[in-house]
Amino acid sequence: MILKSYKPVYSHYFTLIRYFSIAVIFLSLFSITYLGLWSDASIFLWALGLYLAIALLAMLYIKIVNDDITYSATHEGVEKREGVIMKQSSVVPYEKISDFATKQGLLERLFGMGTLYIYATGGGSDYKITMRRMKLKDLNELLGIITDMLEPGEAKSNAEETSPPAPPAQPPAAAPSQRQDEVPAPRPPFAPAAPTAKPPSHIYEVGDVGKEKLQELEYMAYVRQAGQEGAEEPKPEQPCAPAKKKTPPAPRKRK
């Protein structure tokens, strides 16, 4: 089944023949009129008529030959048909296409055309199909069909070769640092442990010096547990002076 068919462009040949014919006619009239070649005017007219007849035959030949050339893209491959009297057909399956290239000459650039070369392998030899004078729009469309119909493995390898390298992995974003104008969250105040209902029994077993040492140890443990600067630290309680014992009055001696 034919997916798309294309025809070669040959209108530029007609344009070149037309401009060249106008130049020949102008030179012939200029030679007859301004150079005084009236005696040989009949020769110039016969030559001009012969040239015009050849030009018309050339244009007719170009039209007939190019109308019998067809480039087609089917489900099986790419096909080229040509020939006026003897028809000739060339088919290249998609799986045998090894490479393809395009080319543009001077005239093809001026008239917006291009030539497609399809290279194939098979049967122990390499061969190619040349599709000349295709419009650039048709040429790009045919290249797209060929690329889509290639085998998945080959298309994947071609894509890997032409694909740009992957960008390097970006490093993970650093955690936002605390700005200087931000005020840190206040820490909860240190809550001293609630006193036990009944003080330990060893307090009653030590004297005033032992109580003073015990308070210092408790204060140092509190400071170590708080562990923060600027925290309001309770001052150690001053040891209370021991109560003075009242000496009983000396007994009076009876007389």
- Pick 16 or 42 by higher pLDDT: 16
CA 20 to chain CA mean position, Å:
51
Please give the DSSP secondary-structure letter assigned to residue 181: T
CA nearest to 134, candidates 117, 114, 119: 114
Per-residue pLDDT tens over the stretch 172-209: 555 555 455 555 555 555 455 555 545 455 444 555 66
- Name 232's Cβ contacts closer than 8 Å, sequence gap at least 6: 189
Cα(14)–Cα(67) distance, integer angstroms: 14
Q: pLDDT value at position 87?
A: 87
Q: Is 8 in contact with 69 (CB distance < 8 Å)?
A: yes
Distance, CA of 37 to CA of 43 (rounded, Å):
10
pLDDT band, residue 78 (cuts 50/70/90): very high
The Cα 134–Cα 128 span in angstroms is 17
For the stretch 200-249, pLDDT in tens is 554 445 556 667 777 788 878 777 777 654 444 455 555 555 555 555 55
**pLDDT at position 252:** 61
Q: Residue 150: pLDDT band by 50, 70, 90 thresholds?
A: confident
pTM for the whole structure: 0.53
User: Residue ranges of the alpha helices (H) in the chain?
Assistant: 11-34, 41-67, 106-110, 136-149, 152-162, 208-226
Determine the Cα–Cα distance for residues 37 and 21; give it in Å rounded to an integer: 20
Token duo for residue 110: 């001026």
- Structure-token pair, residue 166: 């992957």
Scanning the structure block, which residue is given the tokens 């040949």?
13
Q: Tell me the mean pLDDT in the region 38-64.
A: 84
Single out the residue of 163, 110, 114, 109 nearest to residue 142, CA to CA: 114
